[in-house]
Structure 1
Amino acid sequence: MSVCAKVSKAVLVAAAGLWLAASAGLTDPAPRRVVSVNLCTDQLAMMLAAPGQLVSVSHLAADPQSSAMATEARAYAPNMGQAEQVFLMRPDLVLAGTFSARAGIDLLRRLGVRVIEIPPAATLDDIPGHLRIIGQALGRETQAESLAAEFEASLDQLKINAPPARAALYYPSGYTTGAGTLADAILRHTGFSNVAADLGLAGGGNLPLERLVMAGPDVVVTATPYPGASRAEEILVHPALKAVQSRAGSAEVTDADWICGTPHVLRAVRAMAEAREALGGPRLTQRQEIR
């Protein structure tokens, strides 16, 4: 066999090997050093990563007011999301949100780092999809599928089918969330309409206290106060709001259970399902512990 023929044969064998490897997913091995720079991808990664695979999460992940996994986050090196800091961690995959600092994400990509961006969850149906995307990126598809199926089953058990009662989400500075948000989806899943959405608000924004009072909601949902005191929270103890709450039901929730589209939102879903029951809605058919 001539030298050229031997080379051609070697090239064909190598090409065939690459094709087989690609077909089997072997050319894209699971990342070994993963860094997350977004509060929500932090939690998805902590739930799915193999031991030692995730090396850093954002500093917000350890804040119990914002993160449903603050205790678990302390096991990882914190980062501030800065491209220089993240690059020095030598990641082969960075997980980010679509609202993460654009300049830093673009710089990491120019430096050859693979980045996957996850948009904020706007519906409860987004959560299983995001689990599967992160699971595939980490090479943990089986674990992601199991967690997604468990979430979907738990969510189905917490569904309230009843004429909607009216709920108002009211936070410091009169902030609320309307249509097209995860919070709105949680309310609708548990037998509520969203006062802010009914008033035409999409996304997040401020709801004047006067409009809230005139709307006369059946339940007012407020956040657990932060430590200390702030002028932004003064509206939550306003006499007019207290009068509305005395006539309506009231629920105090933890922001960490509502902010990110992870299975931890089941705690928020359960809290609102129980608030709907307290108004005389249908009882849940099965009680279960939401961890």
Structure 2
Amino acid sequence: MIRPLTIAATAIFLLTGAAAPAPRRIVSLNVCADQYLLALADPRQIAALSRFARDPELSAAAAKARGIPILRSGTEEVLAIQPDLILGFPIGPGMVAGAPPGRWATLGLASAESYPMILGQIRAVARAIGHPDRGEALIARMNRDLAALPHAKGKGVAAYYQRRGYMTGTGTLVDDLMRRVGLTNLAAKLGKAALAQVPLEQMVAARPDWLIVESATDRVQDQGTEMLHHPALRAIPRISLPQSWTVCGGPAYVQAAQRLTARLNGQR
């Protein structure tokens, strides 16, 4: 999936409203905020999640969202819920159109493009929902699991190649993952931006050691995915990752790092 251009250089956290007891009616406005909330909140605290919360292609926590209300009609629905905390970007007063200024506490989350940014967002969400201890426990588990990763034997240059020839560049979560497991992002060698279209001929000429692709493109579904199965690319080893593990920062970062490491070590 081609990511929308909402990449931020740093995480921005905006928490308004006076200190209060743990919120009891939390609304999440996007699939990235959903995943933090599902990992840290009591189910009874969650008043509603975004409309993509149960989509396994986009959310690594889709199974946990079952049974929790989903936003479907937009602003009117949020206003009717009368939440005491709203999570998600965009950040600022326009987060919910029509909401009285300062009516509810809000926590805006920029796009997390590195592991340290993920940790910062976990702490921010955990504090906002009244469970800072859970945030620290989750961070400790993630740090432990990452520290336990075996040394990756297979190194080299990798390209995260998406439908229609888009390649994920530097300064992104995928780039952070590549560096963690010892891979060099082809985008850096080619001087490409965070998201750039690379024609098939240029990709073949660049001869990366690995292609990282979204698992949803493992089969030809349309013209956009057909090019990823061109005979000229068949000789390049592939690593397939669910899009839901990389589209957002969150606990799934660890799963993505584990899958990359396993594949580099010859495991399927």
Instruction: Give the TM-score normalised by the residue count of structure 1.
Output: 0.78
Give the aligned partner of residue 167 of structure 2: 176
For residue 268 of structure 1, the aligned residue among 246, 256, 260 is 256
Give the aligned partner of residue 220 of structure 1: 211
Query: Could you tell me whether the CA contact under 8 Å between 1:128 and 1:152 is conserved in 2?
Result: no
Cα 1:123–1:27 shift into 2, 3 Å = closer
Residue 220 of structure 1 deviates from its aligned partner by 0.8
Cα 1:92–1:231 shift into 2, 3 Å = same
Query: Could you tell me whether the CA contact under 8 Å between 1:161 and 1:191 is conserved in 2?
Result: yes
AA matched with 1:140: H
Give the aligned partner of residue 266 of structure 2: 278
Q: Residues 90-109 of structure 1 correspond to what in structure 2 (within 5 A)? A: 90-98=82-90, 103-105=94-96, 107-108=98-99
Residue 106 of structure 1 deviates from its aligned partner by 5.4
For residue 75 of structure 1, the aligned residue among 43, 67, 81 is 67
Once residues 108 and 197 of structure 1 are traced to their aligned partners in structure 2, the CA distance between those partners, rounded to angstroms, is 43
CA offset digits 1:216-271 (Å, max 9, x no partner): 111111112269822211111222222xxx2x321111101111111112111011
Secondary structure (helix, strand or coil) at the match of 2:20 reads: coil
Which structure has the higher relative contact order (CA within 8 Å, separation 6+)?
2
Q: Residues 23-62 of structure 1 correspond to what in structure 2 (within 5 A)? A: 27-62=19-54
**Root-mean-square deviation (Å):** 2.5
Give the aligned partner of residue 225 of structure 2: 233
Unaligned residue ranges in structure 1 (runs of 5+): 1-25, 280-291
AA matched with 1:34: I
For the pair shown, the structure with the greater C-alpha radius of gyration is 1
Cα 1:180–1:160 shift into 2, 3 Å = farther
Q: Residues 193-212 of structure 1 correspond to what in structure 2 (within 5 A)? A: 193-212=184-203
Secondary structure (helix, strand or coil) at the match of 1:91 reads: coil
Secondary structure (helix, strand or coil) at the match of 1:64 reads: coil
Instruction: Give the TM-score normalised by the residue count of structure 2.
Output: 0.85
- Percent identity (aligned): 31
